[in-house]
Structure 1
Amino acid sequence: MTLDRLRPLAELVLDPMVAAADRIGLTPDGISVLAFGFAVAAAVGFSLATPVGYVVGALCVLANGWLDLLDGALARTQNVDSRGGDLLDHVLDRYADIVLVVGLAAGVARYDLGLLAVTGVLMTSYLGTQIQAVGLGREYGGLVGRADRLALIGLGAVVAAVVGGPIGPLSLSVVGYLLAFFAVIGHFTALQRFWGAWSDLS
């Protein structure tokens, strides 16, 4: 169900972008930093909570997602993939996750939902890397992976640009419902990953 499973297919589509990045002298680490910059820009747009801010934020989230794929593909093309580069990529991805959720929460002043959402997001990512650390390989499974999360944030931001004010039974904004979803599903996905790894280790 998770879009992270489509990562190999997406990387095939990235070939022209990888070739272009290599020709102009970009480095994988530089692209990782650029991807984080787009995440920060998206968070600023979300914090404004205006239609323009949400649309610009959605476009920046899209750029962040594609660049997150591009850095690894470029590293393999240039044969410079390293543990240091992988560490930088993971650290910047986690900071990107944090700033995106904080930006969404700030825009609608729902820091309670933001706290629950960001802990769910971080635990999902933590379980993915911790499972790898115990020798089971990188885990991208579960209901909602990072690619799904970015897609939902981008889509939610576009909807929020069109729909203003509280809606639905809980009288939350579109962004409020998105944060609540991440809060619940994030922790559920983390536990799902934990249980799968625990079963494999038993």
Structure 2
Amino acid sequence: MTLDKFRPVAERMLTPFVTAADSLGLSPNSVSVLSLGVAGAAAAAFVAGTPQWYAVGGLLVLLNGWLDLVDGALARKQGIASDGGDLLDHVIDRYADLIIIGGLAAGVDNFALGFLAVTGVLMTSYLGTQIQAVGLGRAYGGLVGRADRLVLITVAGLVAAVYTVPIVAGYGVIELLLVFFAVVGHLTALQRFWGAWGDL
């Protein structure tokens, strides 16, 4: 179900954006840092918690995900892909996840739910890199990967902009998204763990 398997397709669509970034003299690391700034802007929009700002936040999350693809493609184009750049990219991605989900939780004033959601997200990502660390290759599989999360947050932000009433048990679109991340994030982490355990 994960969208990460379509990463090669997305990367083929990046050419004009990568060319533009290269012509502007941007480095892959600067694009990574820019993506973190976009994540911060998205979180601020979600904290505002109004319909209009939810739509803005959702679109900024989509831009964050796109820039996350551009930085790696730019590194390959410039011939400067490195372990250091990969490390920076992973660190920035995790901070972006924390910031965005924190913004969602703050916007609905439910930090307990936000904690459960962000731990699920972080454990999913941690298992992906830890599996790589033990020599099994980078794990993108599972129920929900980062690409899926970013698309879901974008869609939820746009839906929350037009549908503001509670849906289930007093929870609106954003709260239900956080519940989904809390449950499915941990399930994805466990799915990756058991899959890797069986390959060891």
TM-score (norm 2): 0.99
Provide the rounded CA distance (Å) in 1 between the counterparts of 2:30 and 2:133.
26
One-letter amino acid matched to 1:157 = G
Superimposed CA distance per residue, residues 88-131 of structure 1 (whole angstroms, 9 cap, x where no aligned partner): 10000000000111000000011111000000000000000000
Counterpart in the other structure of 2:179? 180
Paired residues in the alignment total 200
Provide the rounded CA distance (Å) in 2 between the counterparts of 1:185 and 1:87.
26
| Ranges in structure 1 where 5+ consecutive residues have no aligned partner | none
Matched, 1:199 2:198: yes
Superimposed CA distance per residue, residues 173-195 of structure 1 (whole angstroms, 9 cap, x where no aligned partner): 11000000000000000000000
Counterpart in the other structure of 1:115? 115
| Ranges in structure 2 where 5+ consecutive residues have no aligned partner | none
Matched, 1:20 2:20: yes
Identity percentage over the alignment?
A: 66
1:5-16 aligned within 5 A: 5-16=5-16
TM-score (norm 1): 0.98
Pairwise CA RMSD: 0.7
One-letter amino acid matched to 1:21 = A
One-letter amino acid matched to 2:18 = V
One-letter amino acid matched to 2:111 = Y
1:97-108 aligned within 5 A: 97-108=97-108
Superimposed CA distance per residue, residues 61-97 of structure 1 (whole angstroms, 9 cap, x where no aligned partner): 0110100000000000000011111111000000000
Following superposition, the deviation at residue 163 of structure 1 comes to: 1.2
Provide the rounded CA distance (Å) in 2 between the counterparts of 1:20 and 1:41.
23
1:112-151 aligned within 5 A: 112-151=112-151
Q: Per the alignment, in what secondary structure is the counterpart of residue 52 of structure 2?
A: helix
Q: Which ranges of 4 or more aligned residues in structure 1 deviate by more than 6 Å?
A: none
